[in-house]
Structure 1
């Protein structure tokens, strides 16, 4: 009797799984033309936002701006998605804008924002 219960349970569970595999006619995905978001980092201008417009599936143009503890920081640049159709996408980034900040809080209140090129790579 115990074997019959186990066999019955296995049949019921496998049939439920078979119904979960039904095909759907989903429309084909269209690649995103761009994105925006908020975050922390050099490409976000410090604490701020970033807009990315995909000119082609591989090449994107980005702008980021925000508060970097010494004033307004910005970055503009290009990013390249080397394999946009794969699950793991290597990315190269080249931008110009703020890349360092010095802030001294004393009687002088020194605030310096340094601008220049920045390069990056990631996955």
Structure 2
């Protein structure tokens, strides 16, 4: 199982080692504001991304997660490329699961932990420094979440129609709010 994850993260690194050019959205000092859905955007919300170095950015997301305020912060490593599409790896801390059974307060909770995964940036050819980002995240969910989910599954008064997905998807559109060319 661990071999799959190692390959998932090392193969893109090997393909990107010979690339030298960079996209402006990945340049040190650039800051962008994005709107989207998924963990980096706090659920349904906004994300601010700042490139602290070329190809390395920090971000914070704030949004609505079906129960209330969702927040995450993390970093992206963007692999250098000459193409308009860039591959990146992300890691973040913050909310990564929600249980929200209406009218049952003991089954309404937000859970926090680490989430990691790959993504791609689709840089605009028409508008400099604007891009779509999308990706997959593997959330490392807490034992509290797993225990609460198991209690739900064992509760005869509650029917769970589908189990939560083991991976999360995110997508958002980002525009520059400051840049250093």
Q: Do these two structures clear the TM 0.5 threshold for a shared fold by scoring above it?
A: yes
Compute the TM-score of the two structures, normalised by the length of structure 2. 0.48
Number of the residue aligned with 1:62: 59
Cα distance in 2 between the residues matched to 1:88 and 1:72: 31
Number of the residue aligned with 2:77: 80
In the TM superposition, what is the alpha-carbon distance from 1:85 to its structure 2 partner? Answer: 4.3
Compute the TM-score of the two structures, normalised by the length of structure 1. 0.69
* Structure 2 alignment gaps of length 5 or more: 1-22, 121-181
Matches within 5 A, 1:108-123: 108-109=104-105, 110-123=107-120
Could you say what secondary structure the match of 1:105 adopts? coil
Could you say what secondary structure the match of 1:90 adopts? strand
User: Are positions 1:31 and 2:28 aligned together?
Assistant: no
Higher Cα radius of gyration: 1
CA shift in 2, pair 1:60/1:85, >3 Å: farther
In the TM superposition, what is the alpha-carbon distance from 1:31 to its structure 2 partner? Answer: 2.8
* Structure 1 alignment gaps of length 5 or more: 1-29
Cα RMSD (Å) of the superposition? 1.6
